[in-house]
Each structure stands twice: as structure tokens, then as C-alpha cells.
């Protein structure tokens, strides 16, 4: 195992948003409703399996975005941190966990638990990334307005929370900037997804029904992918230097 910090900054293609905690940080709640841990920002990012090859990573020397595959990014971070680890075996036994799951398996598990009342169609044929940001490092929230200008959305003001929750609703499409980081604790090895920034992209069918403020901005998002911001929740960590040419 290398003792250096191993991170990789990546940008997603348009993905669907689920369980957003973007306006106000909140603690994790277990199945019994008990709050655990420090409050965090975060969201589930639902990635179509057809789009896993549409990710990009930030080349640290050239300061450009390079196309790549989401699944490969996770394995490269793990290989760099634990070069002698059998990744396939570690994943199968739970000794190594990535911050994404197979959406079809997730849908099946929810349906088995909740039965016919379960809302799971949005997870089918996807991978689901669980992303988070520490309370001290809130992710940037952005959109492109009607004039084509990129706007950073503020969390301050009397109506800020309401506006954020109306815009970034479950089911809308976003483009996210993540930092993948290898972590190891007494409980195991992990590749975690930290949420640096999230850009509203377009409307989608609201998960759970209802509408959204995003309908007023349907044509506002002009860019397919945002530039990688300078905001990094793991600031100071080293970049990768293995077979992915960082």
C-alpha cells in the first residue's frame, strides 16, 4: 500500500439526480431513522450504463479534460493505492468497496423489501454513485442562464434553500464534478466520491412525481460539460501518476 493520498478528479456526463442534499448539510439516517455521523452535503447520481464511457478526468499536468470510462477510473484509483491487492477478490468479499452500485441490483433489493409500492424504475440499467461533501466544503451549484452566462447559485438569502431544492430536484439531469479518493479504515478499503460541483443540465421526470423549477430553465444549460472548478474538498492531496496519464 502506498502512503500517498490517491485522488482523481472527474466530470460526469449528464446524469439523473436522486436524494439531493445540496442546500443544507444533513446527517446520515439509518433505516430506523436514527441520525449518524456529521452533517454532509451529497446526492445519488444515476448514470445510464450506456454512458459509463462518457466520463472525463482532469489531466494534472496538461490541465485538460480527457475522455475515459467511469469503471476504469475507480479501479485505477484502487490499483494506485493498493498495488498488490486483488481488486476482483476484494470487491467480491467486501474488503474493498467503491462508491457506486449496480442500479439493477439496487432496484431488485428495494423491490424485495418494499414490494409493489417500491419506486425503482429510475435505477434500472444504471450505475448509482453515492457522492458527498463535508460540511466545511459545500459543493458549488451552477447553471447557465438564458443569456448563456454561467451562474454560481448562492446558499445565502431568505429563499436560497427553496430555490436550490426547486432547481435540483430528484429526477432532473445534472453534470457533476467529483474527486475520487482512496480511503482505508479499520472497517475496510474504499474509493469514495466527493462532490466538488454540480451543474443543472435539464429537466427530467421527477422521481416520486411533481414538477420542478427547472422547467423554466429547460434551454438554459448550453454546455454538455462544465469546466473543472478550482474548488476541491480534498485540497492538498496528491494526483495519480500511474497508467492513466495524469
> What are the 10-residue block averages of pLDDT along the chain, 246 residues in total?
83 96 88 82 97 92 88 96 95 96 93 81 95 94 84 90 93 96 93 96 82 44 45 47 48
Task: Return d(Cα 151, Cα 132) in angstroms, integer.
Answer: 22
CB 172 within 8 A of CB 17: yes
Residue 229: the pLDDT is 47
β-pairing verdict for 188-202 and 140-144: parallel
pTM to 2 decimal places: 0.83
The conformational region for residue 51 under phi > 0 = left, psi -120 to 50 = alpha, else beta, is alpha
- Cβ atoms within 10 A of the Cβ of 63, count? 8
Which one, of 13, 70, 67, lies nearest residue 191 by Cα? 70
Residue 209: the pLDDT is 56
Task: Return d(Cα 81, Cα 5) in angstroms, integer.
Answer: 8
Residue 226: the pLDDT is 47
Amino acid at each position: 500500500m502506498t502512503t500517498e493520498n490517491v485522488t482523481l478528479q472527474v466530470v460526469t456526463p449528464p446524469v439523473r439526480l436522486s436524494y439531493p442534499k445540496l442546500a443544507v448539510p444533513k446527517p446520515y439516517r439509518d433505516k430506523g431513522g436514527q441520525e449518524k455521523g456529521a452533517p454532509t452535503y451529497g446526492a445519488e447520481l444515476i448514470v445510464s450504463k450506456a454512458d459509463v464511457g462518457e466520463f472525463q478526468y482532469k489531466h494534472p499536468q496538461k490541465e485538460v479534460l480527457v475522455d475515459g470510462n467511469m469503471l476504469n477510473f475507480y479501479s485505477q484509483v484502487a490499483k494506485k493505492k493498493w498495488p498488490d491487492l486483488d481488486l476482483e477478490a476484494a470487491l467480491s468479499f467486501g474488503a474493498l468497496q467503491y462508491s457506486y452500485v449496480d442500479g439493477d441490483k439496487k432496484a431488485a433489493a428495494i423491490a424485495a423489501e418494499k414490494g409493489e409500492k417500491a419506486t425503482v424504475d429510475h435505477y434500472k440499467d444504471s450505475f448509482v454513485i453515492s457522492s458527498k461533501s463535508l460540511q466545511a466544503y459545500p459543493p458549488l451549484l451552477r447553471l447557465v442562464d438564458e443569456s448563456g452566462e454561467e451562474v454560481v447559485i448562492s446558499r445565502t438569502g431568505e429563499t436560497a434553500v427553496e430555490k436550490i431544492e426547486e432547481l435540483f430536484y430528484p429526477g432532473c439531469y445534472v453534470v457533476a464534478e467529483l474527486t475520487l479518493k482512496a480511503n482505508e479504515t479499520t472497517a475496510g478499503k474504499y474509493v469514495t466520491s466527493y462532490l466538488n460541483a454540480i451543474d443543472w443540465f435539464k429537466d427530467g421526470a421527477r422521481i416520486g412525481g411533481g414538477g420542478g423549477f427547472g422547467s423554466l430553465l429547460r434551454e438554459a444549460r448550453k454546455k454538455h460539460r462544465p469546466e473543472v472548478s478550482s474548488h476541491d474538498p480534498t485540497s492538498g492531496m496528491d494526483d495519480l501518476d500511474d497508467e492513466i496519464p495524469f
